[in-house]
Every structure is written in structure tokens, then in C-alpha cells.
Amino acid sequence: MRKISAVYFSFVLLISCSTRRQISRQANEALISIKELSSAHVGISVYDLQSQKYLYNYQANKYFVPASNTKLFTLYAGLKYLEDSIIAARIAVENGSVIIQATGDPTFLHPDFTNQPLLKLLQQAAIKSISINTDFASKPYGAGWAWDDFQDDYMAERDPFPMYGDVARVIYGGDSIRTIPPFLKQLVVGTLVKGKPWAVTRELGAHYYTIDTTIGTIANEKIVTMAMEAGRFATRNLADTLHKPVVSEYTPLDRTASFPVYSQPKDSLFRLMMHRSDNFFAEQTLLMASNERLGIMSDSKMIDTLLKDDFKELPQKPKWVDGSGLSRYNLFSPQDFIWLLLKLRAEFGIERLRVILAGANEGTLSGLYKGYDNYIFAKTGTLSNNIALSGYLSTKKNRQLVFSILINNHQSSSSYLRKQIEKFLTGIIDRS
């Protein structure tokens, strides 16, 4: 029996060594040695679940800007600290008056979510007046965000009481425009010229929107962020949606004297967050998790708590500053992502993660890994000159692997590098 065990061990070791050499060769051919990355920084880590060992590491303990791979850490916070359904608000009702404690729910009046339980409650005829407390311990923008991107929809403001995804939609049809939310139409100035390019702009912190026909594209709809003013925008303008008086409440609502109103199953939010790499959903998820864990909406305090508690055993202590990965201040290693992906799998199950994460030719992986359905589930990351991909692989020999690839300071095209990463990973799938 001992002889058989020794032979089996030697056989497994031989296969493992062969796989390591193969992965190393593929990494060199597809990524490390290509001229497009000769001046860039590359980090790669591949981990085998069966042997519980790394199959390959290349600068895997070095720090990189991970871009939207940061959302994997935010996902963990949401999965662990939010209830199965998102709390839209905590409320108290007395004599036809409602007091609302904001919770940071990003789905309120969001076009992706047609079911709006909080809206239906507030529309009830018995509700005569509404007060909203919007205590907020964070800032609208994260540390290290590119301030001049503030108008772009991927940089919607963080807010304690979001509405409409914190963006305005200006829609052109026929000879007129309409807006979502509708009450913003009166704040849009300028004239459209049919068939000509156009854009909508606003000043930082301003609520007036200008139609500019000297720039832009020909389109039926333009999206621009709204200035949310840390909850004050909602307090002022919700009255126009409900046709009822709405005022600010300055005393936080005691949780023991209130009850939660639920909105959406949280996994439905997380799936959108990860499939399309939604920065707004990620930032609000971290704030909601903070509200449930700490009783305040503070991204910095929640990050500090997670790093000292849930993530205290990370291989390399990261610098983590936001929920979405918009910030270039974030620094993580590939081995940090391997550790996190193993933790996510162990605590929440691979089947659940397969639904939340984008698979082959899905979401931000659209157009990639065609024919590799069920072999890859991962999170992309992209900032100018930085690209990332971390997730789970199943090989055709039924090996279960976890991987992380972080590339910084490249001057190639992101689409080209994504194809090179695809070449590397499909080679592992086919041969390992």
C-alpha cells in the first residue's frame, strides 16, 4: 500500500510540475514577453484548488492598481453584511406622517428595477407628509477619482438617498425633449438641431443642464450625472415625484422605533454590478454594508473595519480607498485576489458566484471566451493604461483553478491585451 501511495504521489507531482512549466511558457508567450508589455508591469497568479497550492506566480506579491477588480472586495462586503433583500429605507409612521432614515439603496427609482416597494408605500393616500434623514459620513466622490469626469455616467455621485441612479437622462424625440427625472426638464437650456450631434453638459455642483450642439454625437438620449448634495437633492425633489410635502429630518431615526422597507434581492443588484462593472452600484453597496455593520455610511471606516477583521489575513496588506476601483490610489497584489476569491468561494459557494460574475461572452467579457461557457467566471478591470482580470477557471481536464492577472502602465490597446489574456487563459483551460 505504501508503495502504491508513493507511486501515486510521484505521478501527481510529475503532472503538477509539467502543468507549472506549461503555464509559465504560456504566460511568457501571451503576456510577459510581448513587445506591447515590455515597459509595463505585469503580475500573474494561478492557484489549484485540488492541491491547494500555487501553480504559477509572476510578481504576484507586488502591488498593482486593480481598477474594477476592487469590486470583488466590495462584493464580499455586500454578501456578508447585507440582508438577502436590500433595505430601501427604515421608516416610522405616525398619523399619516412618515419619517425615513436613508440607507443608501441605489435601486430607488432606478430604471433597471421596475418593482419599487418604497415608492408604492409613499404613494399611499394615507401618507400625507414625509421627513427624510440623510446622515452621511462620506463624500460624493472617492479619493483619487478623476474630478473632470464628474459629468460622465460612470462617475455618479455617492449619496445617502439616491434617485434614478443619480443620473439625468435627456431624451430627444420629434421636435422636443423630455427628461428622467421629469422635473429636470425646466432646468435644461439650449436648442437641439435635428440630425446634428449634441451633448448635455453641466458645471460641477450645478443643477442646470446645457444642450451643446458644437460637440457630441447624433443620438436619441444623453446621460449626465446629477448633483445630489449629500441627500438634499432627494429631499427637495422627491416632492415633485410624490406630489406631497417632503422635508429634512435632522434627528436620526432610532432603529428600535422603526421598521425596514425592503426593495430588491441583493444578488440581482450584485449581478448587474459585476456584469457591467457598475461603479455607482459598487459604491452604494459599500455604503449600505457600512450602514448595516457600523450604523453609518462611511466608506473609509468600513474599509478600515474590513481590513482589520475579515481581511486581516491578506497576503499583502493593500491600500484600499473606494468601492468601485475608480481610484488610482488602490493597490492590491494578485495574491490578494487569489486569497479573496478562495474566501468568497468557501463562504458563499461557487454556484452563487457563477450567477453573479460574468461568464464567457457575458457582460464585460462580451465577445471573449466564445465556446468556453462554464469554463470561466471573472471580474474585469480597466482604467487608462491599466487592465485586470481575476476569477475562476475550470479546465477541460476538470481542474478547478483561481487566477488573477494585473497589468499596469501599458500603452497598448485594452482590447488587444484582453485578447492576449484570453489566449493565455484558454490555453490553460485546453491543456491543464
Residue 1 lies in a domain: no
Average pLDDT, the chain: 95
Q: Residue 155 has what pLDDT?
A: 98
Q: How many CB atoms lie within 10 A of CB 237?
A: 18
Is residue 136 over pLDDT 60?
Answer: yes
Pairing of strands 246-248, 53-58: unpaired
Residue 8 has pLDDT above 50, yes or no: no
Residue 332 scores a pLDDT above 80 = yes
Please state, as a whole number, how many other Cβ atoms lie within 10 Å of the Cβ of residue 203.
12
Amino acid at 65: V
Work out the average pLDDT over 33-43: 98
Residue 10 has pLDDT above 60, yes or no: no
Residue 134: CB atoms within 10 A of its CB come to 24
Span 410-427, mean pLDDT? Answer: 98
Pairing assessment for the beta strands 221-225 and 167-173 based on DSSP bridges: antiparallel
Which of 239, 264, 289 lies at the terminal end of a domain, its last residue? 264
2 is a domain residue: no
Out of 28-37, 128-137, 228-237, 315-324, pick the least confident: 228-237
Residue 226: φ, ψ to 5°: -105, 150
Q: Are residues 75 and 114 in the same domain?
A: no
Q: Which amino acid is located at 218 in the chain? A: I
Q: How far apart are the first and last CA of the chain?
A: 28
pLDDT class of 175 with cuts at 50, 70, 90:
confident
pLDDT tens digit string along 87-114? 999 999 999 999 999 999 999 999 999 9
Span 226-243, average pLDDT: 92
State the average pLDDT over residues 24-32: 97
Assess whether 250 and 136 both reside in one domain: yes
What mean pLDDT do residues 389-400 have?
A: 98
Same domain, yes or no: 328 and 183? no
pLDDT at 62: 98
CB neighbour list of residue 28: distance below 8 Å, 6 or more residues apart: none
Residues 64 and 98 in one domain: no
Q: How confident is the model at residue 194 (pLDDT cuts 50, 70, 90)?
A: confident
Cis, bond preceding 318 (omega within 30 deg of 0) = no
Domain boundary, last residue among 264, 284, 308:
264
pLDDT in tens, 276-318: 999 999 999 999 999 999 999 999 999 999 999 999 999 999 9
Q: Do residues 244 and 96 both lie within one domain?
A: yes
For residue 53, the surrounding DSSP H or E stretch is: strand 53-58
Q: Can you tell me the mean pLDDT for 321-331?
A: 98
Assess whether 239 and 282 both reside in one domain: no
Is the pLDDT assigned to residue 2 strictly greater than 80? no
Q: Is residue 205 part of a domain?
A: yes
How many domains, in total, are found in the chain? 2
**Domain assignment of residue 182, given as a range:** 88-264
Query: Model confidence over 348-388: pLDDT tens digits?
Result: 999 999 999 999 999 999 999 999 999 999 999 999 999 99
- What's the average model confidence in pLDDT over 225-229? 96
CATH for 410? 3.40.710.10
Is 8 contained in some domain?
A: no
Residues 6+ apart with CB under 8 A from 410: 36, 37, 39, 40, 385, 386, 387, 417
Cα–Cα distance measured from residue 187 to residue 181, given in angstroms and rounded to the nearest whole number = 11
Judge whether residue 333 has pLDDT over 90.
yes
Q: Please compute the mean of the pLDDT values over residues 319-339 and round it to a whole number.
A: 98
Report the pLDDT averaged over residues 402-406. 99
Global pTM reads 0.95
Q: Which of 240, 264, 288 is the last residue of a domain?
A: 264
Each residue of 55-86: pLDDT tens digit? 999 999 999 999 999 999 999 999 999 999 99
Assess whether 160 and 191 both reside in one domain.
yes
Among residues 277, 287, 336, which one has the least CA distance to residue 65? 336
- Could you tell me if 26 and 46 lie in one domain? yes
